[in-house]
Amino acid sequence: MKPVTKYTKSGTVNIAYQVIGEGPIDIVYIPGWVSNIDMMWSEPKLAAFLIRLTFFSRLILFDKRGTGLSDRFDKYSTLEERMDDIRAVMDATNSEKAVLFSHSEGGSVSILFAHTYPHRTISLIGFGIFAKRRYSADYPWAPTDAERELSYKVIEETWTNGNMNSLKILVPSLAHNDKFMEWFASYLRSSASPGAALELQKQNTFIDVTHILKHIKVPTLLLFKTGDKEIKIEEGRYLATHIPNSKLIELSGNDHLFWTDDAFLVLAEIEEFITGIRPLKRHETYLKITNANSKIALENTMLTNFMYNLKIEEFAKLSGRSLSKFKRDFYAIFKTTPSKWLKIKRLKYAKILIEKGDLNINQICYECGFKNCSHFIQSFKKLYKLTPQQLKRKNSILEL
């Protein structure tokens, strides 16, 4: 499912980026300290989170300068230069305006971008972000200079001896999951060299966007875990107080990573903020990929995942087949084409949801795997001789 990695220039620097999804709105993900957009797809929980975002958006990922697949160098880069990386990637992907979804350090540059380019920013979404990273009397939750010096030493030792135990504080829910912690350590090492990781940590010490918070005009969603030891919940409350038109959601949990612990709650808040519709089903089922070629495996794959807005090629991958083999096997089982079967299956599922009466028509449309409400209504009427709304009213009358 990993998208193709491409490059664009930000000044003289090569910036790696990926685009996945065909939704009606662009989301640009601005990562935290370090990242590697190829390695993101090797962690199932993170991959599932990213894919779920594409159910209602076109998702744009990138590695900022000095990290991941972008040009590497161990030198200081300003927030303004990092902001230009975002602009360059948006230009390369023909994104005129986007939602900026940021994590940790990525929040500061997102705030700067929204301040500098409000006409290109739909809204801001930040998970565990901060306004500054150095203690002061008016921002006492940031680390002291002594604590920052200690963090530099930890990074040097961590990258040198390979002992990543210090990372466990970032993700308590998976601290005893050796496989995940192994991946996390590899992810960080593949995202930055020892020198680059240390230099970025030093740069971050001097981040301070407190003076521009009051000038942010776009809607802002702030997501924070109440037990996060890295970025305190008080920092979220500070941001919510100082950014106009902002909303703070305090989530229970201790993880600093947005895709671990109960990631569905994070996804639900994001989707509702962007689309106005809160998702009702979880996303983990989506990644139940099988390499078996049996009739049962293909049939089960389709029955389990039909309500997801996937391409036929993606259903083929889910069932462990090439596209041509998938189409042949599909016809042998269902005696029709995948497209026709999916349309009828989704419409029948929509009828069940309408009869239950709990959801509005927009919610039913997206819950069934349709991405265009007009197309959904037309297709439903063609099959059932009634629009979804007419059937809903009919059922309401019958109940009376």
- For 315-344, what is each residue's pLDDT tens digit? 887 777 888 988 999 998 999 999 999 999
376 and 231 in one domain? no
Q: What is the domain-level CATH number for residue 312?
A: 1.10.10.60
Residue 188's domain is classified under what CATH number? Answer: 3.40.50.1820
pLDDT for 179 equals 87
Quick one: pLDDT at residue 287? 43
Of 112, 104, 47, nearest to 86 (Cα)? 112
Asked if residue 244 and residue 345 are part of one domain, the reply reads no
What tens digit of pLDDT does each residue of 32-66 get?
Answer: 888 999 999 988 889 889 988 988 899 999 999 98
Residue 40 counted as domain residue: yes
| 77 part of a folded domain | yes
Tell whether 219 is covered by a domain: yes
How far apart, in whole angstroms, are the C-alpha atoms of residue 41 and residue 293?
24
In a shared domain, residues 258 and 304: no
Tokens of 184: 């996390």
Amino acid at 362: N
> Same domain, yes or no, for 219 and 357?
no
pLDDT given at position 292: 43
What pLDDT, in 10s, does the model give residues 368-380?
888 778 888 999 9
223, 242, 275 - which closes a domain? 275
Q: What is the pLDDT of residue 355?
A: 81
Q: What is the pLDDT of residue 103?
A: 96
- Give domain status of residue 78, yes or no: yes
Q: What is the pLDDT of residue 285?
A: 42
**What total of structural domains would you count in the chain?**
2
Q: Tell me: do 52 and 16 sit in the same domain.
A: yes
State residue 78's pLDDT score. Answer: 85
Say what the pLDDT of residue 288 is: 43
> Is residue 393 domain-shared with residue 246, that is, in the same domain?
no
- Considering the domain architecture, whether residues 95 and 183 belong to the same structural domain is answered as yes
Beta strands at 98-103 and 58-62: parallel, antiparallel or unpaired: unpaired
Q: Are residues 388 and 242 in the same domain?
A: no
Distances in whole angstroms, Cα of residue 234 to Cα of each of 8, 50, 125, 230, 249: 38, 27, 17, 11, 12
Q: Per-residue pLDDT for the chain (400 aa), expressed as one digit of tens each?
A: 578 999 999 999 999 999 998 888 999 999 988 899 999 998 888 988 998 898 889 999 999 998 999 998 767 688 899 999 999 999 999 999 999 999 999 999 999 999 999 999 999 999 999 999 999 999 999 889 898 888 888 877 776 565 667 778 889 999 888 888 888 888 888 888 888 888 888 888 888 999 999 999 999 999 999 999 989 999 999 999 999 999 999 999 999 999 998 888 999 999 999 988 887 655 444 444 444 445 557 887 788 778 877 788 878 877 778 889 889 999 989 999 999 999 999 999 888 888 877 677 877 887 788 877 888 899 999 999 999 888 888 876 655 5
Among 275, 308, 340, give the residue marking a domain's end: 275
Is the CB of residue 187 less than 8 Å from the CB of residue 46?
no
Query: Are residues 255 and 316 located together in one domain of the fold?
Result: no
Shared domain check, 261 and 333: no
Does the model's pTM come out above 0.75? Answer: no
Joined tokens for residue 340: 């026709």
Domain of residue 76: give its range: 6-275
Q: Is residue 204 part of a domain?
A: yes
Is residue 218 domain-resident?
yes
Note whether residue 284 is domain-resident.
no
Task: Spell out a b/e string for 28-37, using b for 16 or more CB atoms within 10 Å of the CB, else e.
Answer: bbbbbbbbbb
**Same domain for 35 and 113:** yes
**Quick check: is 95 in a domain?**
yes
Please check whether residues 182 and 112 belong to one and the same domain. Answer: yes
